[in-house]
Structure 1
Amino acid sequence: MSIEFRNVMEEIVLNKVDEIINTVEGCKCEQCRLDIASYVLNRVPTRYVATAEGSIISKVDSLDKKFEIQLVTEIVKAIQIVQENPHHQK
């Protein structure tokens, strides 16, 4: 039996980045989007799951208001940093 692990935070962070990045000024290219997500993923706890049920439970847990505030704060910081230092020409 082959078990695959998955960090559900990747999906949660990318969804929230997409939601927030569309409300701010600045570059929204794929490189900047992924740089923002990478910055955030390095600062929030990982949430690995090995089953579909685990994925659902972890996503429900991520809806906690304290967690959401932390996530939005990290995304806003990441947007500022990436916009000031993009990995492409301005």
Structure 2
Amino acid sequence: MDISLTPKLEEMIREKVASGFYDDASDVVREALRLLAARDESLAQARLSLLEAIEVGEADLTAGRFSVIEPEDDIRAFFDRL
């Protein structure tokens, strides 16, 4: 597989290898891809949690269960009361 990197990214990889934490550029790229996969999974889980919360909120609204936030209310304090 051939990839092209900007000079800045190439320098970043060289610095990581020079730090001694990685044996070579491939190790740096593998670690970067592992971190990217972990971030993607975390974002996917956050998205699912948000969608679930939206469904709960919509169900509450449909059932007539809701609270009104007044403009002068501090939103954090409002949610602390719930």
Bigger strand share: 1
Whether TM exceeds 0.5 here: the answer is no
Q: Which has the higher contact order (CA 8 A, sep 6+)?
A: 1
Bigger helix share: 2
Larger radius of gyration: 2
TM-score, structure 1 length as denominator? Answer: 0.28
TM-score, structure 2 length as denominator? Answer: 0.31
